[in-house]
Amino acid sequence: MRIAFISDIHSNLEALQAVLDDIKKERVKHIYCLGDIVGYGANPNEVIELLKKLNIPSVQGNHDFAVPDLKDFNKFNQYAQVALKFTQKVLKTENKEFLKNLPETNTLTTVGLTFFFAHGSPDDPHWEYIFPTTPEVRLKKFLEKYDVVVLGHTHIPFYKKFGRKLIMNPGSVGQPRDGIPEASYAIIDTEIMQIVNNRVEYDIDTAARKIITSKLPFYLGDRLHTGH
């Protein structure tokens, strides 16, 4: 079975559409989202409604958690705070409720494997960052209960295998931070436990221009071009 994982869309409609078009070319049975559907970008309603239309399950990211009531507002940097206020202002009521009702974590048992999904980590689903440099002893701890752990939040794709178990991050659809501006997602082939990280070109100019037109910080548009 081939499963696609997307994460950290951050209201970037152009990137999400390009990634979904690319996924259509793959022999994928399911798509799952690791949260941070909104924040930073200019099209939160359109992104949420596209995920709902396609019935793509998602867990709740820290931006998704914060937006409806501006919870944990002071934990965010100045650019994120401006984007949170913008997103809260423009979101439709039903889309705020959608974000509120997202689960913090999710599990899936299929083809003899148990998957665990969270935005941050199993210990702190909203806020903990698990990087490629996180000590292996900590990564192995997460795999004590599960065969595959899939996380988002860092915007940096990686995977590490420990025997037949693995932990992975598909990177960011809407705001990559690994120095590559193309949208990032990942596919796992459960038969051979192989991970492929795909990068997809999208209309960055349009996404960045929408950010500026929406009177969001210029920095949030500029960083899309650099992947940082």
Token code pair at residue 48 = 């949420």
* DSSP structural state of residue 186: E
pLDDT of residue 129: 98
Q: Which residues of the chain have pLDDT under 50?
A: none
Please give the single-letter amino acid code of residue 13. L
Q: Which residue from 51, 65, 52, 55 is spatially nearest to 12, judged by alpha carbons?
A: 51
For residue 28, what pLDDT is reported? 94
* Among candidate residues 155, 226, 162, the one with its CA nearest the CA of residue 197: 155
pLDDT for position 159: 97
- When the candidates are 3.30.1510.10, 3.40.50.300, 3.40.120.10, 3.60.21.10, the CATH number that belongs to 2-226 is 3.60.21.10
